[in-house]
Structure 1
Amino acid sequence: MACPYLAYRREDAEHSFDTDRAYCTAAETFVQPMRADICNDRHELDHTTDCEIYLEADE
């Protein structure tokens, strides 16, 4: 199951893109593809244990 803080957006207040990009609503910023792999629990990663942003926001 993907992180509940993960969204896909084309823009925020400071950036605009042609395609949707991974956006962390907890950190309020676009994230790099490698970070999105954690958010999507890919490659045996788990956002509930491997993501410091999730852990901080979930406290």
Structure 2
Amino acid sequence: MKYLKSFLAFEWITLIGASIVLYTRWNLPLYICIGIVIMGVILTLYFTKKYEPKEKKAEDL
């Protein structure tokens, strides 16, 4: 899990940067850019919580 936490921060920074570029250069509406960031955060948290208990169970064995 220690390697995954740095990836999560990098992923969120990339999503925010990409949404800023989409908003400023490609003139996408702001609600679409914010929606992309929120969807990325939700999916990242979902998959993190989905696979986190499996690692804890493996440590108990």
Give TM-score scaled by structure 1 length. Answer: 0.25
Larger Rg belongs to: 2
- Relative to its length, the structure with more helix (as a share) is 2
The TM-score with structure 2 as length reference comes to: 0.24
Choose between structure 1 and 2: higher strand proportion: 1
